[in-house]
Amino acid sequence: MKSLIRILLIFSAILYTTGFVAQDQPSAKRSLIIAIGNYPYLGFLNSANDVPLIKTALESQGFTDFRILTDSSATLSNILARLDELAADTRRGDIAVIHFSGHGQSIPDDNGDEPDGVDESFCAYGAKPWVTDDYHGEEHLRDDVFGRYIDKIREAAGPEGQVLVILDACYSGSGTRATDIITRGVDNVLTERNSPKDFTIKDETALYPAGVTLNESGFAPLIVFSGARANEKNAEYKGAGSLSYAFNKALTNPRGSDISYRGLFAEINSVMTGIAPAQNPVAEGNGLDLKIFGQGYIEPPASYPVTDIINDTLIIGAGTIAGIHPGARAVFYPAGTTDTSKTAPLFTGEVVFSHPLFAKVKPDFKPANFGGAAYTACITEAVVALDTVRIWYGGASGNSDTETLKKALGTSSLIRFVKENEWHDLAVTKSAGANLYTLTEISSGTVLADSLRIGDELTTRIRQYLISRQFAMLDLKNERIALEIELIPVTYDSKTGKTEEIADINKYYVNGVFTAGKSDFFKIKIRNTGKIRAYFNIMSIEENGKIDLLIPYVRKNEDPSGYFIKPGDEFIIPNFLYRFRNKSGKPVANEILKVIASAEPIDLRYALLKRRGDDPGEKKGQSSVLEEIFGLADDSQRSGPLKALRNEMISTYTFTIRKVK
């Protein structure tokens, strides 16, 4: 089942490309707080207690414009009217916060845009849990409708504004009191009480619904905080929503407001670790690295969050695939630390075990309140246990260029320069009569890049090759996790957006090799033949070293918990097309699709997220976490959280596609 967060991210920009613009008038800070607890037909919640928590927290940040709907005033018509009013009042550069506390429920899809047959919805006042003669969902606010209203507010605020959505609700909770814990959400899909289970909730992996325009350069960036993942219950704490409580504590923290939304979320996560340890709060959106409620961008620190503590051993959300190996040294800071140079470390430790996607760290000592707070880790002394890439430089201008190249690449132990007669992976050769160079992979004879200068252009290509090779070589298998992946060729009409399957897939095989051109489009079909639910990531790896995380969509900071498939289920990933990027006139090359399936969500944003360069619309000046860990870059970015996987419950699948002109 999908998270309602995802429908909001549908309306977030693919890539935030607009810089900040000075405002003639100070931006206004506006809010809409919706809290429903005294439902006439659903379980009681303490949502009324969330209102002062949210209001006080926002007042500490200079908010004075509050629109509040509680209980009987929060009917669907009133909620939509207030959202419309907020959009009408919002001006360019304004900051808007929309908070919802209450129940959520799955409801049968009404427009055919959901492959699982259900929408997610908020339960407004008067909502009933079942279809009756006089009720058919009139007080349920559907996710796609809510998303369109948020879209109006974002458009009004413009790229200089911000929109924060806080969801203290869930869609899988029982809505009844379990001992002293109240959870938010309605179990059943909204159908007739005794109807057959026609609406089995299948796994949702849609990226975008049909008909949604993704060109949103004029929209405000979006940030979404949710109290729990889609498959978790959202518990109350001390008679209030756990997220509302944590939001209040984090925002009124003496650390002040000079932090990013990512830093704020780390503070929230720290609080929730203590009050709701069974929940994984979620932060998504394309504005996570913006300064909260103000102008500016805050570069995230080069660090990894601690995702779990087991028997005094800390679990961090990255492992060998990010260059973290046993023996590496780590320094730990409070969660949310944005500048380690100005923050005293809490303690140190050593990596004692490293899985491809997480690592275990034994602390040198345990500080006071160990385990009662959230931490972030920085790797200070890396241990490299990956294959060294051997480079031969064949330039004709002497050793000066070799030294220049070595200096540009830094001191990474992954790189070794060799002589011509020694075995090597890459050859750097100089073009005749020009100060330009060609980079060639020796084993395949593939020209990775040509006409490159000795500085940044060449070193960037070598770095890309190093990183892509580590991902391409990743090979893991677990007998309980088994997926079948199928590429389905389709025709695509760019004017209408319609696709049509091509029956004869055999035409894409040339001498037994799957072959595709730049005008070929494909859908991806997934089937779970294993024994357990499988979460999955899909990435593409090009021979020139470029890596793209296709699912989940990395540039929107999508949480990976929404991408899973149950045993026996199969589906075509909806509203998702893939085309190999080989351009006309370029040499033929191979491209790898890598599918990583796991028993728990894996957050590959740790390894793949790019940091912001001088020009947000360009890729130049960006580096990945892997580059930083390997000593190939200065900066990186993380996001989380990631729960540690048990018993290496991961399987990987690799597909090589030959690209032609």
3-state helix, strand, coil in the chain (%, to 5): 20, 30, 50
How does DSSP assign 34-74, residue by residue? EE----SSS----GGGHHHHHHHHHHTTT--EEEEEEGGG-
Residue 588 sits in the same domain as residue 451: no
Determine the Cα–Cα distance for residues 342 and 185; give it in Å rounded to an integer: 42
Position 523 in a domain? yes
Report if residue 583 sits inside a domain.
Answer: yes
Is 41 within 8 Å of 129 (Cβ atoms)? yes
Distance CA 490, CA 351 (A): 47
Measured between its terminal Cα atoms, the distance across the chain in Å is 40
Q: For residue 408, what are the domain limits?
A: 389-473
Q: Is residue 467 assigned to a domain?
A: yes
Asked if the structure places residue 623 within a domain, the reply is: no
Sign of CA dihedral 352, 595, 526, 116: positive
User: Is the overall model pTM greater than 0.85, yes or no?
Assistant: no
User: Where is the domain boundary, 416, 446, 473?
Assistant: 473
In whole angstroms, what separates CA 384 from the centre of its chain? 27
Helix (H) or strand (E) segment spanning residue 272: helix 261-275
Do 565 and 419 belong to one domain?
A: no
Residues 307 and 374: beta-carbon distance below 8 Å: no
Q: Judge whether 351 lies within some domain.
A: no
Q: What is the pLDDT of residue 83?
A: 97
Both 469 and 501 in one domain: the answer is no
Q: What are phi and psi of 506, to 5 degrees?
A: -65, -25
Q: Which of 603, 608, 596, 597 lies closest to 643, judged by CA?
A: 603
Q: Spell out the residues 6+ positions from residue 79 whose beta carbon is closer than 8 angstroms to its own.
A: 34, 69, 122, 124, 141
268, 285, 302 — which closes off a domain? 285
Length of the chain equals 661
Nearest-angstrom CA–CA distance, 574 and 68: 37
Residue for token pair 């800071």:
333
**463: CATH:** 3.40.50
Alpha carbons 87 and 158: distance in angstroms, whole number: 11
Q: What is the pLDDT of residue 95?
A: 96
Do 564 and 461 lie in one domain? The reply is: no
Give the Cβ contact number of residue 59 at 10 Å.
Answer: 16
Whether 215 and 266 share a structural domain: yes
550 within domain boundaries = yes
CB-based burial of residue 521 (10 Å sphere; 0-12 exposed, 13-18 middle, 19+ buried)? middle
CB of 167 closer than 8 Å to CB of 232: no
State the Rg of the chain over Cα.
26
Residue 530's Cβ-count burial label (10 Å; 0-12, 13-18, 19+) is buried
Three-state DSSP state, 320: helix
Which class for 496: exposed (0-12), middle (13-18), buried (19 or more C-beta within 10 A)?
A: exposed
Q: Are residues 508 and 467 in the same domain?
A: no
Parallel, antiparallel or unpaired: strands 437-441 and 446-452: antiparallel
The pLDDT, as a whole number, for residue 243 is 94
* Whole-number pLDDT of residue 550: 84
Asked if residue 403 and residue 536 are part of one domain, the reply reads: no
- 349, part of any domain: no
d(CA 474, CA 149): 43
> How many independent structural domains does the chain possess?
3
CATH number, domain of 90, equals 3.40.50.1460
Claim to verify: residue 10 and residue 93 sit in the same structural domain? yes
**Predicted local distance difference test score (pLDDT) of residue 110:** 57
Across the strands, what pairs with 168? 101
- Residues 539, 458, single domain; the answer is no
Q: Which among 473, 492, 521 is the end of a domain?
A: 473
Same structural domain, 439 and 487:
no
Beta strands in 258-396 (DSSP E): 282-285, 304-310, 313-316, 329-334, 347-354, 359-363, 375-381, 389-393
User: Which amino acid type is present at position 340?
Assistant: T
Strands 359-363 and 313-316: antiparallel
Residues 242 and 268: their CA atoms lie apart, in Å, by 10
Residues 519 and 456 in one domain: no
The CATH number given to whatever domain includes residue 558 is: 2.60.40
Contact criterion met (CB below 8 Å) for 119 and 108? yes
Return d(Cα 336, Cα 262) in angstroms, integer: 8
Q: Examine residue 353 and state whether it is found in any structural domain, yes or no.
A: no
CB distance 467 to 415 below 8 Å = no
Instruction: Clarify whether residues 93 and 174 are in a common domain.
Output: yes
pLDDT along the chain (661 residues), means of 10: 45 34 64 96 91 96 95 96 97 96 79 53 89 85 89 94 91 32 47 39 29 55 87 81 93 73 84 80 86 82 79 84 79 80 86 83 87 79 62 64 69 69 80 74 76 73 74 73 86 82 75 75 88 88 74 74 87 78 50 84 62 30 37 31 42 68 52
Contacts of 642 (CB under 8 A, 6+ apart): 305, 307, 317, 357, 358, 601, 602, 603, 606
